[in-house]
Amino acid sequence: DQQVKQNSPSLSVQEGRISILNCDYTNSMFDYFLWYKKYPAEGPTFLISISSIKDKNEDGRFTVFLNKSAKHLSLHIVPSQPGDSAVYFCAARVPNTGNQFYFGTGTSLTVIP
Amino acid sequence: DAGITQSPRHKVTETGTPVTLRCHQTENHRYMYWYRQDPGHGLRLIHYSYGVKDTDKGEVSDGYSVSRSKTEDFLLTLESATSSQTSVYFCAISESTGNSPLHFGNGTRLTVT
């Protein structure tokens, strides 16, 4: 059973606008969350993280929001650029498991110039 | 970029043959992981290691074994490959089990015919 879900397989956004990628999870014990970006034929690249004790973390154009009561995570990219076109994965960790993460199925983002 | 090298990058093998995939890191990180990526499933953990000769099973470990005789190398073996093991395999490393993200290699595409 998928503990981390990305319900939108794809998303298209105009260059310069905001991209919002969503992730839902079922396990309230998850304590650390990650977002990755993946280009074809490459490995996932770490983007940004958030601990369960926070509700927001920013790094440049990327902001991650965590809503623990809703078990919902989102990644905002502002402004979106064509180079952001990739597949984005969210991941969540159960504590005390050797840093094991559960991943979502990914959302393919296309930024239209 | 994290110094992670996966070999081979591509492999085609026949059902029933043994296959070994190699992951080599130059970061001296303690934790290493093997994930597989399949459409509709995201990335799923196969096995992980928390030190030399210390390994444990992940979510989808059946049909796979691992070994770690040196800090820098983590091997994944399919004792008798099956078509269901056709996938893209990613190695990841992590510095610690604190709030430390995973860093991935570029993957091995394995096809079992």
Put simply, the answer to whether A41 touches B107 (Cβ < 8 Å) is yes
B70-83 residue pLDDT tens: 999 999 999 999 99
Put simply, the answer to whether A43 touches B106 (Cβ < 8 Å) is yes
Q: What is the pLDDT of residue B96?
A: 81
For A24-43, what is the mean pLDDT?
96
Question: Does any CB of chain A come closer than 8 Å to the CB of residue B35?
Answer: yes
Q: What percent of chain A has pLDDT over 70?
A: 99
A58-99 residue pLDDT tens: 999 999 999 999 999 999 999 999 999 999 999 999 888 888
- Which one-letter DSSP state was computed for residue A9? S
A102 CA: distance to closest CA in chain B (Å): 7
| In chain A, where the domains are located | 4-112
Question: Where does A4-112 sit in CATH, by number?
Answer: 2.60.40.10
Q: In what order do the strands lie in the sheet with A72-77?
A: A4-5, A19-25, A72-77, A62-67, A56-59
Judging by beta carbons within 10 Å of its beta carbon (0-12, 13-18, 19+), is residue B25 exposed, middle or buried? buried
B57-73 residue pLDDT tens: 999 999 999 999 999 99
Q: What is the pLDDT of residue B2?
A: 64
Q: What percent of chain B has pLDDT over 70?
A: 98
Q: Which residues contact A70 (CB under 8 A, 6 or more apart)?
A: none
Which residue, among A108, A36, A41, has the nearest Cα to B106 in the 3D structure?
A41
B79 CA: distance to closest CA in chain A (Å): 24
Which residue is closest to B2 within chain A, CA to CA? Answer: A45
| In chain B, where the domains are located | 4-112
CATH topology for the B4-112 domain:
Immunoglobulin-like (2.60.40)
Question: Using CA atoms, how far apart are residues B40 and B8, in angstroms rounded to an integer?
Answer: 25
B50 CA: distance to closest CA in chain A (Å): 7
Per-chain mean pLDDT for chain A: 96
CB atoms within 10 A of CB A33: 24
Put simply, the answer to whether A99 touches B102 (Cβ < 8 Å) is yes
Put simply, the answer to whether A42 touches B106 (Cβ < 8 Å) is yes
